[in-house]
Amino acid sequence: MKRLFYVLAAPAILLFVIAATDAPVETAGGPEGPPLRPMVAAAVSFVAADRQVGRQTLPAPTAPTAEYVGSDSCLGCHDDATKKLGGTVHWKAAHPRSPAAERGCESCHGPGSRHIEDPGSDTAIRKFATLTPREANSTCLSCHTKSPHTMWQGSAHDARNISCITCHSVHDPKSPTAQLTKATQTELCATCHRVQATKMKRVSHMPVPEGKMECSSCHNPHGATNVKLLKTGNWINESCVSCHAEKRGPFLFEHAAGRESCVSCHDPHGSSNDRLLVAKLPMLCQRCHIGTRHPSTIYDSTAFQSKSVRVIGRACVTCHAQIHGSNHPAGQAFTR
Residues 18, 320, 322, 336: which binds ligand HEC (CB under 6 A)? 320
What residues have CB less than 8 Å from 59, skipping those under 6 apart? none
Query: How far is Cα 104 from Cα 107, in angstroms, rounded to an integer?
Result: 5
Residues 5-64 that bind ligand HEC (CB under 6 A): none
Residue (27 or 121) nearer to ligand HEC, CB: 121
- Say whether residue 310 binds ligand HEC (CB under 6 A): yes
What residues have CB less than 8 Å from 9, skipping those under 6 apart? none
Residues 19, 44, 185, 273: which binds ligand HEC (CB under 6 A)? 185
Query: How far is Cα 141 from Cα 143, in angstroms, rounded to an integer?
Result: 5
- Which segment (10-18, 26-34, 38-46, 104-112) binds ligand HEC by CB under 6 A? 104-112
Residues 17, 39, 78, 150: which binds ligand HEC (CB under 6 A)? 78
Burial 216-252 (b: 16+ CB within 10 A, else e): ebbbbbbbbebeebbbbbeebbebbbeeeeeeebebe
- Say whether residue 144 binds ligand HEC (CB under 6 A): yes
Residues 40, 148, 187, 336: which binds ligand HEC (CB under 6 A)? 148
Residues 123, 184, 204, 322: which binds ligand HEC (CB under 6 A)? 204
| Cβ(276)–Cβ(268) below 8 Å | yes
For residue 6, the tally of other CB atoms under 10 A from its CB is 9
Query: How far is Cα 98 from Cα 143, in angstroms, rounded to an integer?
Result: 9
Residue (123 or 335) nearer to ligand HEC, CB: 335
Residue (36 or 201) nearer to ligand HEC, CB: 201
**Shortest Å, Cβ 294 to ligand HEC:** 4
Residues 31, 120, 211, 329: which binds ligand HEC (CB under 6 A)? 120
Residue (44 or 180) nearer to ligand HEC, CB: 180
Query: How far is Cα 321 from Cα 336, in angstroms, rounded to an integer?
Result: 7
For residue 41, the tally of other CB atoms under 10 A from its CB is 21
Residues 21, 65, 292, 301: which binds ligand HEC (CB under 6 A)? 292
Site string for ligand HEC, 233-272 (x = CB under 6 A): ---xx-xxxxxx--x-------xxxx---xxxxx-xx---
Length reported for the chain = 336
